Amino acid sequence: CTHVQPPPRGTLQVLRGNGTSVGTIIVFHCPSGHQMVGSGLLTCAWKGSVAEWSSVTPMCKSVPPYETFGFKVAVIASIVSCAIILLMSMAFLTCCLVRCMKRSEQPSDRATQLWLQLRAGDLETVPPAYLGLKGVNISNSGGGGGGPAGRPGQAHDNYSFT
């Protein structure tokens, strides 16, 4: 067989034989960033009365580097969406906590609750001691309409203005 040269930017390795005798096997290699076009294995064999290689010498074709722009965009989009989800979760939890705090700040003292529930008309029927008032005059009897200064049903502290 004829002497074989390695392809441009490639190498060859003789696995068997001397490189030109019948039965010689040659393997071709391409460097990183290149792809082999053609058969990577040649064998020298008889074809009729002439010794020939099993195929033509391969070529090493350069391969463009992988495009990473799409991957970078996907990573940035994932980070942004995670940040938005985190922000919305924090806002939701803050809203829930504020709502719970407002509920717990509502009057829980029994006297305060009763005071807020009573209507103006109900105050006359509640005993003064129950409301924490001492020395209250709730008498409706007496001259001029039942209470001091003629105002019926109005309670006054006996200790004021003495």
Structural domain boundaries of the chain? 11-62, 68-133
CATH assignment, 11-62: 2.10.70.10
Residues 59, 36: contact at Cβ < 8 Å?
yes
- Separation CA 90–CA 150 (nearest Å): 62
Confidence check: pLDDT of 65 > 90: no
- Separation CA 103–CA 92 (nearest Å): 17
- The pTM for the full model equals 0.40
Confidence check: pLDDT of 59 > 50: yes
Residues 35, 49: contact at Cβ < 8 Å?
no
Question: pLDDT confidence of 19, banded at 50, 70, 90?
Answer: confident
- Separation CA 28–CA 6 (nearest Å): 7
| pLDDT attached to residue 114 | 59
Segment 79-95 shows an average pLDDT of 93
Beta bridge partners of 43: 25
Using a pLDDT cut of 70, give the percent of the chain over it. Answer: 63
Which of the listed ranges 6-15, 80-89, 109-118, 135-144 does the model predict with the highest average pLDDT?
A: 80-89
| pLDDT attached to residue 145 | 46
Question: pLDDT confidence of 147, banded at 50, 70, 90?
Answer: very low
- Separation CA 142–CA 144 (nearest Å): 7
Question: pLDDT confidence of 29, banded at 50, 70, 90?
Answer: very high
- Separation CA 116–CA 111 (nearest Å): 9
